[in-house]
A and B are shown apart, each in its own frame.
Chain A
Amino acid sequence: MTPKTMIRAIVAAGGLLLAPALATPALAQFPDKPVEMTVLFGGTANSIAQVLATELGNALGKPVVPVSRPGGGGAVGYSYVADTRPDGYNIVWNSNSINTAYHTGKIPFDYQKFTPIAMVSTEVPALAVKSGRGWKSLDELKAAAMKMDGKLKVGISGKGSFTQLVSAALFDAMGIGDKISYISYGNGKAPVELMAGRIDAAVQWPGQYKSYVDSGQLDVLAVTGKKRVALLPDAKTATEQGYDVDITMWRGLAAPKGTPPEVVKALQDAAKTAVESPAFLKAAKNLGFDITYEDSAAFGQDIAKDDAFYAKLLGQLELKKQ
């Protein structure tokens, strides 16, 4: 026994002895104090989280406090929440990053360390090129890439990032996976790099392209979800163009494994009320994400399905570490 585990054992033993004294006769109704919601990323993830937290608080009758714990591709926040007591007072605003963070070796545990509460939103990546390049569809882009001497330069957020996984899946489906050279950009600079002609195509979020599409400077060739996105109604899906790709970024809520079912149920119902509120609908429209509510059970199945999918995809990209 290392000193640390010994201390833990002593504390646990002490806790057991004290437990009967502390336990209240009937469990108080959840929640009887504020709930802390860990937010893993800045940007859109954080903006949605702020609105959601307010609405969740209204539904629960106790405030929900969004606390930003960024870093490590979600590793910092996931590790924090996974170690908290499973009583529903610590929840995490999670996403596909739980799957990718595990498989790329950022965290030593996977999605099974959490109990799903509800899926809340989805965002669909989009592939854009500069207008006037003569590429109006995936087929035209493919034809151009095949004819090119060098490789097609595609902007992504970073190696192993969600945007790269989407790009890889899309270009593999198009059969030009080996004609692509990936260029990493941070800070949402992809539209600028496209405009300047330093890269040929980029996979990013519709919100980033919206203004450029309106002004006629960029063309969105495809979105990678099942359905078109409301923000860019003219952009066809990859499936419509004959390429079988369906990847979206989901976001939702999860609690540490072992959270009591009635607490999960209370949080799930609050999430349902929250996503139907006018303020959340307005945020969805402005920020360019889709509201996709799924209850705990359905959400859990989707996470498990995604996990297998990303394990395979990361394996193909040689980014899988565990």
Chain B
Amino acid sequence: MDHFLTALQMALTPYAIGAVGLGTIIGLIFGSIPGLTFTVALALALPVTFGMDAVPAIALLLGTYIGGMTGGSVSAILLGIPGTPSAAATVLDGYPMTKQGRASIALGTAVIVSTVGGLFSLVVMIVSVNLVSKIAIDFGPAEIFALVLFGMSTICGLSSGSLMKGLIAGVLGLLIMTVGIDKIDGDNRMTFGSVNLLQGVNLLVAMIGLFAVPFIIDTFVQHRHGGLEAPATGSLKANLPSFGLMWRNSWLMARCAAIGTGIGAIPGTGGAIAAFLAYSHARRFSKTPERFGRGAIEGVIAPETANNAVTGGTLIPLLSLGVPGDPATAIVLAGLMIHGITPGPALFMTSETTVYAIYIAVVVAYIFILVFQLLGIRLFVYVLRIPQQLLAVIILVLCVIGAYTVRNSAFDVYSMGVIGVLAWGLIRAGIPITPVILGMVLGPTLEGEYRTAMQLSGGHLDIFYKSPVALLFLGLSALVVLMQATTALRERASKRLESKNA
């Protein structure tokens, strides 16, 4: 208890609270602007923390991380361009809601469920960090491979209409990520002798290209033909979701928060996979799955709860094992190390006070997020008043800056352009974009874990079916694919029947 009181004193100084607030704002801004990503925000914030005391420094970084995770949903909902890969699933229903004039409801819901998800995961982390980290250790390459494969199976739910087109998109995503130096054997793959291709295609750069560039092209084309809708000129009401709406979905929120926390606790997975799994879970267990993809509020609640629940989840391997789950938490780890806080099993013995202070900082960060974003919604919706062609120009500039800053490489700006034009072509061909990003997020983990498992087993596949956990997830993946296939067949049969009867 003494530790907790000391931690309260450390974490609730005006300086520390200010640091969290500042971090949250930076994260929100970088997360919510298409093109700029919160991984970049964290990299920029890191050197600033060197001159600070340990607790405010970590508070600043965690605020940026959490703010960015939440901010990603703003541009996903308003423009259909996710601010972070974790918000890609939010586009599916959030953007249709904006088109129906329900942007503020979607934004308000996203903020509230993000906070609920984040705080839920924090509580889980506090009470069960020892247990969960023990379970996380048991997730070896074979188990993570099976889990990620299960994540891949959500492609089934994302490809409205044609499963084949969804698979094409997913495989494209997987293929793109094989460019560059292979992480296991160190071989150059598909680099064609180019030094720039050795670095591979950056996920964030590709994401900017996939979502923002088609938006820009479409807007310009429509502007030329005079087909653009006039911007909303009337009073834009900033309606907030009702308490009843939240209450009706509390069980869904609880389930998605659990998914997010669980996924976050397993190193090497991260926010995107949690969001997609939660989305597909919500759709599968919905009484009206046909509403998904057309502006269902559950389609916003599920991924937004889950991706913020990841924040608490990733703290488990980060603090108790010293393993960062994704590039963003890797930067948080660097911040901890440089202030002399070495994450790992000894952290809870040697720096108990600091650990409590971290927990408190997370809570403060979520309070800030709730306040800033609920107030901000009134401002955010004004974006919709900007004529689309002007908005497209602004986004174009931001995307070029964003793509460049990810690795300070002009090559990435070209890659963004090329990927964007290809993505536009895919959309024209009726191939969905979301499975591409899913393939890209999961591809490297999927391949790496599979090959590591093969190295461990000496090339025998039995490593996958000897592990009950791996077997469970492989079975679930098979089940999802099977169910999808039978539904598709049944639909086709009933359609044929209808056309015969007609």
A150 to B, closest residue via Cβ: B458
> Does any Cβ of A come within 8 Å of B476's Cβ?
no
**Could you say which residues of chain A place their CB within 8 Å of the CB of B198?**
71-73, 75-76, 106
- In the complex the two chains form, is B188's CB within 8 Å of A106's CB? yes
Chain B 467-484 residues near chain A, CB threshold 8 A? none
One of A16-24, A85-93, A120-128, A281-289 contacting the partner:
A281-289
One of B7-15, B42-50, B95-103, B247-255 contacting the partner:
B42-50
One of B16-24, B298-306, B338-346 contacting the partner:
B338-346
- In the complex the two chains form, is B181's CB within 8 Å of A319's CB? no
> Does any Cβ of A come within 8 Å of B72's Cβ?
no
B324 to A, closest residue via Cβ: A187
Asked, given contacts A106-B181, A192-B323, A215-B344, whether A75 binds B195 with beta carbons under 8 Å apart, the answer is yes
Render A181-225 as a binary contact track against B, CB cut-off 8 A, 1 for contact.
Answer: 111111111011101101100000001101110110100000000
Cα of A153 to Cα of B188 in the assembled complex, Å: 25
Cα of A128 to Cα of B46 in the assembled complex, Å: 30
Render A131-157 as a binary contact track against B, CB cut-off 8 A, 1 for contact.
Answer: 000000000000000000010010000
> Does any Cβ of A come within 8 Å of B6's Cβ?
no
Pick the contact of B183: A186, A195, A207, A286 (CB < 8 A).
Answer: A186
Chain A 44-67 residues near chain B, CB threshold 8 A? 44, 46-47, 50-51, 53-54, 66-67
One of B169-177, B277-285, B394-402, B448-456 contacting the partner:
B448-456
- In the complex the two chains form, is A208's CB within 8 Å of B195's CB? no
Cα of A105 to Cα of B188 in the assembled complex, Å: 9
- In the complex the two chains form, is A67's CB within 8 Å of B408's CB? yes
**Could you say which residues of chain A place their CB within 8 Å of the CB of B317?**
192
> Does any Cβ of A come within 8 Å of B118's Cβ?
no
Render A75-88 as a binary contact track against B, CB cut-off 8 A, 1 for contact.
Answer: 11001000000000
**Could you say which residues of chain B place their CB within 8 Å of the CB of A283?**
338
- In the complex the two chains form, is A185's CB within 8 Å of B324's CB? no
Cα of A107 to Cα of B186 in the assembled complex, Å: 13
- In the complex the two chains form, is B268's CB within 8 Å of A187's CB? yes
**Could you say which residues of chain B place their CB within 8 Å of the CB of A193?**
140
**Could you say which residues of chain A place their CB within 8 Å of the CB of B330?**
42-43, 187
One of A158-166, A252-260, A264-272, A298-306 contacting the partner:
A158-166
**Could you say which residues of chain B place their CB within 8 Å of the CB of A72?**
180-181, 195, 198-199
> Does any Cβ of A come within 8 Å of B85's Cβ?
no
**Could you say which residues of chain A place their CB within 8 Å of the CB of B184?**
158-159, 184
Cα of A190 to Cα of B229 in the assembled complex, Å: 55
Interface size, chain B (Cβ < 8 Å):
53
- In the complex the two chains form, is B349's CB within 8 Å of A215's CB? yes
Cα of A106 to Cα of B182 in the assembled complex, Å: 12
B40 to A, closest residue via Cβ: A68
> Does any Cβ of B come within 8 Å of A69's Cβ?
yes
Interface size, chain A (Cβ < 8 Å):
61
- In the complex the two chains form, is B337's CB within 8 Å of A159's CB? no
Cα of A42 to Cα of B347 in the assembled complex, Å: 23
> Does any Cβ of A come within 8 Å of B286's Cβ?
no
Pick the contact of A191: B183, B344, B407 (CB < 8 A).
Answer: B344
**Could you say which residues of chain B place their CB within 8 Å of the CB of A70?**
199, 407
B411 to A, closest residue via Cβ: A76
> Does any Cβ of A come within 8 Å of B352's Cβ?
no
Pick the contact of A69: B141, B180, B409, B458 (CB < 8 A).
Answer: B409
> Does any Cβ of B come within 8 Å of A104's Cβ?
yes
Cα of A185 to Cα of B455 in the assembled complex, Å: 11
Cα of A46 to Cα of B335 in the assembled complex, Å: 11
What is the CB-to-nearest-CB distance from B266 to chain A, in angstroms, rounded to a whole number? 11
Cα of A105 to Cα of B321 in the assembled complex, Å: 35
- In the complex the two chains form, is B186's CB within 8 Å of A71's CB? no
B325 to A, closest residue via Cβ: A187
Chain B 183-198 residues near chain A, CB threshold 8 A? 183-186, 188, 195-196, 198
Pick the contact of A183: B47, B408, B455 (CB < 8 A).
Answer: B455
- In the complex the two chains form, is A76's CB within 8 Å of B456's CB? no
**Could you say which residues of chain A place their CB within 8 Å of the CB of B188?**
105-106
> Does any Cβ of B come within 8 Å of A279's Cβ?
yes
Cα of A31 to Cα of B193 in the assembled complex, Å: 36
**Could you say which residues of chain A place their CB within 8 Å of the CB of B268?**
187, 189
What is the CB-to-nearest-CB distance from A90 to chain B, in angstroms, rounded to a whole number? 12
- In the complex the two chains form, is A286's CB within 8 Å of B339's CB? yes
- In the complex the two chains form, is A46's CB within 8 Å of B334's CB? yes
> Does any Cβ of A come within 8 Å of B200's Cβ?
yes
Chain B 80-116 residues near chain A, CB threshold 8 A? none
Cα of A42 to Cα of B330 in the assembled complex, Å: 9
- In the complex the two chains form, is B344's CB within 8 Å of A211's CB? yes
**Could you say which residues of chain A place their CB within 8 Å of the CB of B491?**
none
What is the CB-to-nearest-CB distance from A130 to chain B, in angstroms, rounded to a whole number? 11
- In the complex the two chains form, is B346's CB within 8 Å of A212's CB? yes
- In the complex the two chains form, is A73's CB within 8 Å of B337's CB? no
What is the CB-to-nearest-CB distance from B128 to chain A, in angstroms, rounded to a whole number? 18
Asked, given contacts A207-B337, A287-B337, whether A73 binds B346 with beta carbons under 8 Å apart, the answer is no
A208 to B, closest residue via Cβ: B322
Pick the contact of A71: B43, B200, B327 (CB < 8 A).
Answer: B200
**Could you say which residues of chain A place their CB within 8 Å of the CB of B340?**
282, 285-286
Pick the contact of B322: A67, A184, A188 (CB < 8 A).
Answer: A188
Interface residues of B (CB under 8 A from A): 43, 46-47, 50, 136-138, 140-141, 180-181, 183-186, 188, 195-196, 198-200, 267-268, 317, 321-324, 327, 330-331, 334, 337-340, 342-347, 349-350, 407-409, 448, 451-452, 455-456, 458
14 A-B interface contacts by CB (under 8 A):
A42-B334, A54-B47, A71-B200, A72-B180, A76-B196, A79-B195, A181-B458, A184-B452, A189-B323, A191-B323, A192-B323, A196-B138, A207-B342, A287-B337
The 7 closest A-B pairs by CB, nearest first: A211-B344, A71-B199, A72-B198, A160-B186, A214-B346, A215-B345, A211-B346
